[in-house]
Amino acid sequence: MKRSLLLLLSSFLLPVLSFAQEAEQKGLDERINDAFKPIADMIAGIIFYPIQFTEAETSQMPIVIIILLLGATIFTFYFKFIQFRGIKLAIDTVRGKYSDPNESGEVSHFQALTAALSGTVGLGNIAGVAIAISIGGPGATFWMICAGLLGMASKFTECTLGVRYRDIGADGTVYGGPMYYLSKGLSEKGKAGLGKVLAAFFSIMCIGGSFGGGNMFQANQAAQQFNDMIGATSGSSGLIFGIVMAVVVGAVIIGGIKRIGLVTERVVPFMCGIYVVAALIIIFAHFSEIPWAFGQIISGAFSPGGIAGGFVGVLIQGFRRGAFSNEAGVGSAAIAHSAVKTENPASEGLVALLEPFIDTVLVCTMTALVIIITNGNGDIMVYGQEAPDGVRATSAAFASVIPWFPYVLAIAVVLFAFSTMLSWSYYGLQSWMYLFGRTKTMDYTYKILFCIFVVIGSSASLGAVTDFSDAMIFAMVIPNMIGLMFLLPEVRKALNDYVRKIKTGEIKTVK
């Protein structure tokens, strides 16, 4: 079976490479989009099926977001608000206070956190926030923060299970994620058949999402920003950019999670630091307007005035952005966190709950404050009307105070896209090897395919393809949430065990 699969893949490589060279031809793009559109519409219609709360179009909530929010609320109460009472322990753990470098795993707590963050901190923080505020007004920020706080409990749950049920190969390589806790965990509960089906479904969706939303979409957006920055209009520049990006990505992912962790622990703090510092410069340049901005956020959350959809519409826009931004409950981050060096699963669950806080509560809120403060006279956007280009709206907000910042933002977008591709290459690879086997051949086959899709994404406009892959990413929510509900008692046991070991001194403090 594996030999026939390899023959099939090798016969597929030449046409794909040929496509990358022909991607400038608009007709080819259109033909591919036409082929994918019915499939993308069908899957998106199921995953993003809208629940209508009022007559306004802006008060539609995709069913997958409702599932994520309900799950996050259940986890919050089940673990007695772990995202608040566990925050100090989480910070102590991520800074290595209870770490033993000799424990099983491949990366440190901090590297696992940055690897997972690199998959979520990105265009959603730049473009998505602007779109949410343009539709729902400043009040959407309040509900976005609430979604981020709830999502912390989801990340804690799934990433604890990621470590609890991971496999460690003879060479020390870690294999983990929802595929493993669905198959192994549900088997322990007497539901082996269900677990295998859910694990296979999750893996297939994850592979598709890694090639599309985690790769082609990122490469496409990065290429656009790069072309805008240098003023290029020729389609060939996208192909050249894609080849360069593919070489850089390939050089990193060839080394596996250890090299990805080494890169992300430098890139993620750097790019987040630049972005947050620029935001703080603008915010403190308008220091006297900070109370007014927070007043707009709070009043707009409960009294949105003329915003379409009213209170419900604003709440939905905030929740949608928060859930889409941090991917809590999707299960992807559990793959990265499972590679951590630890014998205590809950230790990494606690580290993981910091992720939505950094991504949504911190970075997204910074973006929102910049937009609200600089949009005092409606110069950037008109609330209640969707911004046609979220990146440009955010760029204009920063440029109103720092004229040269759009160039820095363009570089940040490229870095965000690059780091997202690194993380999603690992997510896809783990799912790929779960389905097809842990061999060097399977390893390199996936990585070559991933790099080819970087070139395709940079040089073609494949809207329907990326819509299809986005739907696949959020389809991962369904099997993941089912598994989380069944395995909640295992997470509680792991948490109680970790806290007990710290209190009794069984886990030594590293000074």
What is the secondary structure of 257-305 as a DSSP string?
HHHHHHHHHHHHHHHHHHHHHHHHHHHHHTGGGHHHHHHHHHHHHH--T
The predicted structure's pLDDT at residue 508: 75
Task: Please compute the mean of the pLDDT values over residues 391-401 and round it to a whole number.
Answer: 79
Say what the pTM is: 0.86
The predicted structure's pLDDT at residue 464: 65
Higher pLDDT, 215 or 45: 215
Higher pLDDT, 467 or 364: 364
Per the CB < 8 A criterion, the answer to whether 129 and 368 are in contact is yes
Which residues on neighbouring strands pair with residue 62, listed in sequence order?
A: 50
pLDDT at 224 over 80: no
Cα 382 to Cα 62, 290, 371, 402: the distances in Å are 24, 20, 11, 21
What domains does the chain contain, in order, with CATH numbers? 2-97+104-504 (1.20.1740)
Task: Please compute the mean of the pLDDT values over residues 157-162 and round it to a whole number.
Answer: 94
| Residues 401-404: contacts with CB under 8 Å, at least 24 apart | 401/281, 401/282, 401/285, 401/286, 401/374, 402/278, 402/281, 402/282
pLDDT at 501 over 80: yes
Instruction: Encode pLDDT of 7-22 as tens digits.
Output: 444 454 445 445 455 5
Mean pLDDT for the chain overall: 81
pLDDT band at 70 (very low <50, low <70, confident <90, very high): very high
Classify 124 as helix, strand or coil. helix
Token pair 């594996």 is found at 2
pLDDT band at 57 (very low <50, low <70, confident <90, very high): low
Structure tokens at 401: 């105070």
CB atoms within 10 A of CB 496: 11
Instruction: Encode pLDDT of 114-127 as tens digits.
Output: 878 877 777 677 77
Structure tokens at 119: 């998959």
Task: Please compute the mean of the pLDDT values over residues 390-419 and round it to a whole number.
Answer: 80
Cα 161 to Cα 51, 138, 146, 222, 389: the distances in Å are 31, 36, 24, 34, 38
Token pair 């590297």 is found at 111
Stated as kind and residue range, the H or E segment containing 315 is helix 310-326
Q: Is 182 exposed, middle or buried (0-12, 13-18, 19+ CB in 10 A)?
A: buried
Structure tokens at 129: 């926030």
The number of residues in the chain equals 511
Q: Which amino acid is at 503?
A: K
Task: Please compute the mean of the pLDDT values over residues 454-465 and round it to a whole number.
Answer: 73
The predicted structure's pLDDT at residue 236: 65
Stated as kind and residue range, the H or E segment containing 51 is strand 50-52
